[in-house]
């Protein structure tokens, strides 16, 4: 006998929210309210079951999703401030939280650095003595997959299939050793090290388990072995029933290339035999036509779990497929269509999203949006934090936090140039290697005078003293308790290194100006977080904490969003989100599905196409009301126009691919184009 569902939930959703007899898995298609179940369940635990918010943790896929979830929960609580006491974060942020408190337990000092994927790449490049980017990328991927699979260098070498992998495994060993010498961790370590810690140190594991009464996980299909292991270690033990709710959709698993395994959904049933599996079937997001298309596409993949999806939103407008002559026209027409539709229907700009497979597709679209004066934001592209000028400033902050961070040392000491040359750094590097100390320490170590002339040593020592002074100020107990505030330290830093003049010396005026603007934007952003203003925990942060936080802003995050702007996003970064009107562009063979290695074994190719199909499914199911799909007959690749075919996925949606309009020879005036687009909007193709 089922009770009346809770307010705003249907019967199975309500069941999932109130189920507390043991572990629970909600397995359901897109837009069926899985994420809603998580937010409601957290509110239910606090309001109706008396859980202390500090004992509840929820894991999301991006920081942005975490922030949104926390805001939603706050709205559901009688005391919204309680939401701040929850742990709502990505796996990586949770890992940092654990490591910050338990650094010593894994052989790290408290002030460890987190190094990003670019720096890892440079390190691998040095260790492998190669400049071949493809080799570096291959080794980096191998290492990451091993780390995520909890395979250590020794085992990796034993399991190596060929000489390439053996090379990766050997570099893996020296990579681990080097990171440890830098007192640095990479992104994968943020989860791997807590796993190691919990496995080897029962008292610490017990302590964390006691703090955690309930765990919730969104997008569970994209967890990897290591993340799954961390979950298991956190929820089993202490003789308690494992208490967690995971929600996921096997049809939306799109991170196999990063080591995620959808098999984890099945493993959950084996590892937790009393797992309650709840299915949701009503979709609250999209029209029936959109759902039919999504179901038709995904129906071509083998099924892991049986699911069906229906909607009460009515049939809705037909999906439109647009064949375009080339990518310039595609971009132009999408921009014009959005513009026309925006004014015609009086919609907000933020009702529109343009989704694409790869970042490289964004540039031409961006240009057209600009031309049409359409505001837009981009996520999933090059992150603000990856810009050279921002990385320069971050290198100083990292060094302030951890002087053993050699990659940060090298970047900071040479930017701006202060008379420290390559050969000086090489000598210093060899010396520090012999003494097993960091570059920073080597500058003051006895014996270095014999190797470096006074002229070479002076700028190095001046630099180190400067960092030491700044560091002392940053950590001196000040009126607020945690030293001079981050804002002051940042301002002094920028002034002392004369960064603005450096930019004007190095770049032309326009570039320098824009870079300096970025720096100011970044420091303001940091200052706000430093004061705890915009940050969700409301705590003041010192420079060290800020630096670690910045390192976590991954490529999926994007910048703070303009509230009323068209969203441009990669399909990967669009996961979990929804938009009234979606334009899926570049839906061509070779792009979606992405062309991979054509010589790979047949089963690998099949698996890849299946993953691409799931990506298409994710794209289609972001749309609430209308969906436009476009493909081009020709597209520029590496400066050349190549012929393209419409993606097989368009046919799988049971849609007519249409003919490319207008043809290349037809050059329309802007007015004609607008008229043509209005026509297209009014007369559906499929």
What does the block give as tokens for 255?
């991170």
Residue in 284, 305, 444, 466 binding ligand ATP, rule: CB under 6 A: 284
Q: Does residue number 32 form part of the binding site for ligand ATP (CB under 6 A)?
A: yes
Q: Is 218 a residue of the active site?
A: yes
Can you say how many angstroms the Cα of residue 572 is from the centroid of all Cα atoms in its chain?
A: 9
Closest CA relative to residue 577, chosen from 382, 383, 384, 380: 380
Considering only residues 537 to 596 of the shown chain, the ones binding ligand ATP according to CB under 6 A are 576, 578
Q: Is 219 a catalytic residue?
A: yes
Q: How many CB atoms lie within 10 A of CB 183?
A: 21
As measured in angstroms, the least distance from the Cβ of 227 to Mg ion is 17
CB of 307 to Mg ion, least distance (A): 15
Report DSSP letters for 454-496, one per residue.
Answer: HHHHHHHHHHHHHHHHHHHHHHS--TTSSSS-HHHHHHHHHHH
Is 130 noted as a catalytic residue in this protein? Answer: no
Instruction: Measure the CA–CA gap between 356 and 380, rounded to whole angstroms.
Output: 10
Q: How far apart (Å, rounded) are the C-alpha atoms in residues 330 and 323? A: 8
Q: Is 576 in the site for Mg ion (CB under 5 A)?
A: yes
Question: Using CB under 6 A, which of 8, 107, 538, 563 touches ligand ATP?
Answer: 8
Question: E strands of 257-300, at which residues?
Answer: 276-280, 282-283
The least CB distance from residue 621 to ligand ATP, in Å, is 6
The count of residues interacting with ligand ATP (CB under 6 A) is 19
Tell me the two tokens of residue 603. 């089963």
* β-strands 640-643, 623-637 pairing: antiparallel
The CB density around residue 212, as the number of other CB atoms within 10 Å, is 16
Smallest gap from Cβ 272 to ligand ATP, in A, equals 22
Q: How many CB atoms lie within 10 A of CB 109?
A: 10
Is 36 annotated among the ligand-binding residues? no
Number of residues that bind Mg ion (CB under 5 A): 3
Distances in whole angstroms, Cα of residue 675 to Cα of each of 164, 342, 538, 670, 679: 57, 15, 51, 9, 6
What pairs with residue 265 in β-bridges?
none
Q: Which stretch binds Mg ion (CB under 5 A): 65-73, 370-378, 519-527, 570-578?
A: 570-578
CB of 58 to ligand ATP, least distance (A): 13
Nearer to ligand ATP, 33 or 95 (CB): 33
Report residue 65 as tokens.
């999703």
589 is in the binding site of which of ligand ATP, Mg ion, none (Cβ under 5 to 8 A by kind)?
Answer: none
Closer of 145 and 253 to Mg ion (Cβ): 253
Q: Which of Mg ion, ligand ATP, none binds 351 (CB below 5-8 Å, type-dependent)?
A: none
Site string for Mg ion, 30-59 (x = CB under 5 A): ----xx------------------------
Other CB atoms within 10 Å distance of the CB of residue 288: 16
Quote the tokens at residue 388.
């050279």
Q: Which of 484, 503, 539, 507 is nearest to 393 (CA)?
A: 503
Residue 192 interacts, among ligand ATP, Mg ion, none and using kind-specific CB cut-offs from 5 to 8 Å, with none
Find the shortest distance in angstroms from Cβ 370 to ligand ATP: 30
Is 60 one of the binding residues for ligand ATP (CB under 6 A)?
no
Nearest distance in Å: CB 62, ligand ATP: 12
Does 28 belong to an annotated binding site? yes
Which stretch in 5-13, 54-62, 128-136, 474-482 sits in contact with ligand ATP by CB under 6 A?
Answer: 5-13
- Rounded least distance, CB 38 to Mg ion, Å: 8
Q: In a 10 Å sphere around its CB, with 0-12 CB exposed, 13-18 middle and 19+ buried, how is residue 31 labelled?
A: buried
Residue 140 binds: one of Mg ion, ligand ATP, none (C-beta under 5 to 8 A by kind)? none
Q: Which does 30 bind (CB under 5 to 8 A by kind): ligand ATP, Mg ion, none?
A: ligand ATP
Looking at 192, 232, 622, 635, which residue is catalytic?
622
- Of 15, 17, 34, 485, which lies in the binding site for ligand ATP, with binding defined by CB under 6 A? 34
Q: Does the annotation place 289 within a ligand binding site?
A: no
Contact between 404 and ligand ATP (CB under 6 A)? no
Does residue 395 have a known ligand-binding role? no
What is the number of alpha carbons within 13 Å of residue 633 lying toward its C-beta? Answer: 11
Counting contacts by CB under 6 A, is residue 246 touching ligand ATP?
no
Cβ atoms < 10 Å from Cβ of 313: 17
Token pair 């069926």 is found at 32
Q: Is 311 in the site for ligand ATP (CB under 6 A)?
A: no
Whether residue 35 is annotated as binding a ligand: the answer is: yes
Nearer to ligand ATP, 72 or 92 (CB): 72
- What residue is closest to ligand ATP based on CB? 33
354-374 per-residue burial string, b: 16 or more CB within 10 A, e: under 16: bbbbebebbebbbebbeeeeb
Q: Which is nearer to ligand ATP, 18 or 35 (CB)?
A: 35
33 has binding-site annotation: yes
678 annotated to a ligand binding site: no
- How many other CB atoms are found less than 10 A from the CB of residue 483? 20
Check: CB of residue 257 under 8 Å from CB of residue 243.
Answer: no
* Gap between the Cα atoms of 572 and 318, Å rounded: 25
DSSP string of 168-229, one letter each residue:
HHHHHHHHHHHHHHHTEE-TTHHHHHHHHHHHH-HHHHHHHHHH-SEEEESSGGG-BHHHHH
- Classified as helix, coil or strand, 252 is helix
Question: Looking at beta carbons only, is 35 or 227 nearer to Mg ion?
Answer: 35
Q: Which does 245 bind (CB under 5 to 8 A by kind): Mg ion, ligand ATP, none?
A: none
Give the active site residue among 15, 34, 415, 547.
Answer: 34
In angstroms, how far is CA 250 from the centroid of its own chain? 19
Residue 646 binds to Mg ion (criterion: CB under 5 A): no
Binding track over 598-637 against ligand ATP, x by CB under 6 A = -----------------------x----------------
Cα 503 off chain centre by: 29
Of the residues 142, 189, 219, 404, which is catalytic?
219
CB of 314 to ligand ATP, least distance (A): 15
12 touches ligand ATP by CB under 6 A: no
Strand-pairing partners, residue 376, are 566
Q: Which is closer to ligand ATP, CB of 229 or CB of 249?
A: 249
Q: Tell the smallest beta-carbon distance from residue 12 to ligand ATP (Å).
A: 10
Q: What is the DSSP string of 124-184?
A: HHHHHT---HHHHHHHHHHHHHHHHTT--HHHHHHH--SHHHHHHHHHHHHHHHHHHHHTE
Annotated active-site residue in 13, 18, 35, 70: 35
Please, which residues bridge with residue 594 across strands?
A: 590, 591
Minimum distance from residue 317 beta carbon to ligand ATP (Å): 19
Query: Residue 226 CB: number of other CB atoms within 10 A?
Result: 24
Bridge pairing between strands 184-185 and 566-570? unpaired
By CB under 6 A, the residues from 318 to 377 that bind ligand ATP are: none
For residue 144, the partner it binds in Mg ion, ligand ATP, none, with Cβ less than 5 to 8 A by kind, is none
Annotated binding site: 28-35, 285
Output the known binding site for ATP: 28-35, 285
Binding positions for ligand ATP, rule: CB under 6 A: 8-10, 13, 28, 30-36, 249, 252, 284-285, 576, 578, 621
Q: Any idea which residues carry the catalytic annotation? A: 34-35, 218-219, 252, 622
Give the interface with Mg ion as residue ranges (CB under 5 A).
34-35, 576
């Amino acid at each position: 006998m089922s009770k009346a569902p809770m307010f705003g939930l249907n019967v199975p959703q309500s069941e999932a929210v109130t189920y507390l007899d043991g572990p629970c898995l909600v397995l359901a298609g897109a837009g069926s309210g899985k994420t809603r179940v998580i937010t409601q369940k957290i509110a239910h635990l606090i309001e109706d079951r008396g859980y202390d918010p500090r004992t509840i943790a929820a894991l999301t896929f991006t920081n942005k999703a975490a922030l949104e979830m926390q805001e939603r929960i706050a709205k559901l609580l009688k005391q919204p401030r309680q939401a701040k006491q929850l742990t709502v974060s990505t796996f990586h942020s949770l890992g940092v939280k654990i490591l910050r408190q338990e650094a010593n337990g894994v052989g790290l000092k408290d002030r460890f650095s987190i190094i990003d994927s670019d720096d890892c790449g440079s390190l691998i490049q040095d260790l492998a003595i190669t400049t071949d980017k493809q080799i570096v990328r291959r080794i980096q991927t191998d290492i990451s997959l091993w780390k995520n699979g909890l395979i250590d260098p020794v085992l990796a070498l034993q399991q190596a299939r060929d000489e390439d992998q053996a090379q990766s495994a050997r570099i893996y060993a020296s990579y681990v050793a080097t990171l440890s010498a830098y007192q640095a961790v990479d992104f994968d370590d943020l989860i791997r090290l807590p796993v190691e810690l919990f496995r080897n140190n029962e008292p610490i594991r017990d302590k964390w388990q006691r703090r955690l009464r309930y765990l919730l996980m969104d997008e569970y299909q994209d967890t990897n072995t290591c993340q799954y292991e961390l979950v298991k270690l956190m929820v089993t033990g202490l003789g308690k029933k494992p208490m967690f709710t995971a929600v996921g959709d096997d049809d939306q698993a799109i991170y196999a290339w990063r080591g995620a395994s959808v098999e984890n959904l099945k493993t959950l049933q084996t590892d937790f035999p009393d797992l309650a599996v709840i299915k949701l079937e009503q979709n609250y997001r999209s029209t029936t036509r959109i759902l039919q298309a999504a179901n038709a596409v995904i129906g071509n993949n083998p099924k892991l779990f049986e699911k069906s999806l229906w909607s009460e939103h009515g049939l809705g407008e037909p999906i439109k497929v647009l064949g375009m002559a080339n990518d310039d026209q595609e971009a132009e027409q999408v921009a014009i269509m959005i513009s026309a539709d925006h004014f015609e229907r009086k919609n907000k700009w933020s009702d529109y999203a343009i989704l694409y497979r790869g970042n490289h597709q964004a540039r031409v679209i961006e240009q057209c949006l600009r031309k049409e004066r359409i505001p837009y934001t981009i996520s999933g592209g090059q992150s603000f934090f990856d810009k050279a000028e921002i990385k320069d400033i971050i290198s100083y902050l990292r060094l302030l936090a951890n002087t053993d961070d050699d990659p940060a040392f090298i970047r900071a000491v040479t930017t701006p140039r202060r008379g420290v040359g390559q050969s000086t750094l090489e000598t210093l590097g060899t010396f520090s290697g012999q003494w097993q100390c960091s570059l920073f320490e080597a500058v003051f170590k006895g014996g270095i005078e014999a190797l470096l002339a006074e002229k070479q040593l002076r700028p190095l020592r001046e630099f180190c003293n400067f960092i030491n002074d700044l560091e002392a100020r940053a950590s001196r107990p000040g009126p607020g308790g945690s030293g001079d505030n981050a804002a002051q330290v940042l301002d002094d830093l920028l002034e002392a290194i004369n960064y603005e003049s450096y930019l004007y010396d190095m770049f032309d005026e326009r570039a320098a100006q824009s870079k300096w603007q970025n720096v100011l934007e970044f420091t303001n952003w940091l200052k706000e977080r430093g004061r705890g203003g915009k940050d969700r925990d409301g705590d003041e942060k010192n420079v060290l904490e800020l630096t670690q936080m910045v390192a976590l802003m991954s490529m999926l995050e994007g910048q703070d969003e303009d509230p009323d702007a068209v969203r441009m996003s990669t399909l990967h970064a669009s996961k979990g989100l929804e938009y009234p009107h979606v334009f899926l562009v570049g839906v061509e063979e070779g792009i979606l599905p992405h062309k991979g290695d054509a010589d790979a074994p047949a089963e690998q190719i099949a698996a890849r196409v299946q993953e691409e199909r799931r990506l298409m499914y994710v794209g289609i199911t972001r749309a609430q009301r209308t969906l436009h799909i476009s493909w081009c007959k020709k597209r520029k690749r590496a400066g050349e126009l190549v012929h393209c075919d419409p993606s097989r996925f368009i046919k799988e949606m049971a849609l007519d691919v249409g003919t490319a309009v207008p043809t290349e020879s037809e050059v329309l005036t802007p007015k004609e184009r607008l008229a043509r687009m209005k026509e297209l909007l009014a007369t559906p193709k499929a």
